[in-house]
Amino acid sequence: MEIISQNKVHGGWLKRYQHHSDVLNCDMTFTLFLPPQAEEQAVPVLYWLSGLECTDENFMQKAGAQRLAAELGMAIVCPDTSPRGTNLPGEHDSWDLGSSAGFYVDATEQPWESHYKMYSYVTKELPELITESFPVTDRKAISGHSMGGHGALICALKNPKAYSSVSAFAPISHPSDCPWGQKAFSHYLGNNKDNWAQFDACDLVAKSSSPIPILVDQGSADKFLSEQLKPEALTKACKDNDFALTLRMQPGYDHSYFFITSFIEDHLRYHGKALGLL
């Protein structure tokens, strides 16, 4: 690993690293917040997955999470949202496919298959690297926004024993049934919708044998609410399968980081309780 930058904040350290990913077959960056407690002992980790057009830096710069994370003694890891520097055909042609739009799946279709394995990167390679390299415990939680909310849900639903808790802001709840998800899934996973179901939160809820409670915040003024996000589909799937979902509709809030920063401390406390910090 190579450190790119570091800044002291709320008694802890915000550090950005570059490393080579064997899973993604390219160099990747991630941003890490280590609270002051990490100087004395290992601390649990919250993984944050960001949305379309974001990088590993957006959350750390805009969400305002470090103050409470420092108080709780919680590390935060933000991976990038897609492989970088691969220059695949069509990779940079649209904002909702390719660069910044990895959708946290393991691609099976060409030309994406050789690099776009974000699910394996986020659930296996990156946590192993973090655990080996930094003073953190094996206890972890996961959260995210929009495309990253979708990512957080599927990672937790597919690996319920790996995460103490999961939450999401305005997640793409049913990607198999919305334009963003259909575009990404058809390119990355092909046209067999059985393969889509392996990375769709609504389908995974129906198949889960180890339910992990879900917390979701959704803004009522989100311009993507009805066409892309479909929280009603997640609500129905959870209700039909006796799955614990807390969905909070927040009046007047949109899809931006103004929304996230307004409620991020609720989510940090939610994860802090599950991680044994409260």
| Active site amino acids | 146, 222, 255
Residue pointed to by tokens 């959260």: 143
Q: Is 161 strand, coil or helix?
A: coil
Torsion angle of the four alpha carbons 206, 211, 212, 217, in this order, in degrees rounded to the nearest 10: 40
Phi (first) and psi of residue 204, to 5 degrees: -70, -35
Amino acid letter at 67?
A: R
Would you put residue 90 in left (φ > 0), alpha (ψ -120 to 50) or beta? left
DSSP state of 265: H
Give the DSSP H/E element, type plus range, for residue 71: helix 66-72
Q: Cβ distance 109 to 188 under 8 Å?
A: yes
Looking up tokens 């198999």, which residue turns up?
Answer: 176
Residue with tokens 């909702």: 96
Alpha carbons within 13 A on the beta-carbon side of 149:
26
∠121-122-128 over CA atoms, to 5°? 80
Element (H, E) at 268: helix 257-274
Euclidean distance between the first and the last CA atom of the chain, given in angstroms as a whole number: 33
CA separation for the pair 82, 107 (Å, rounded): 12
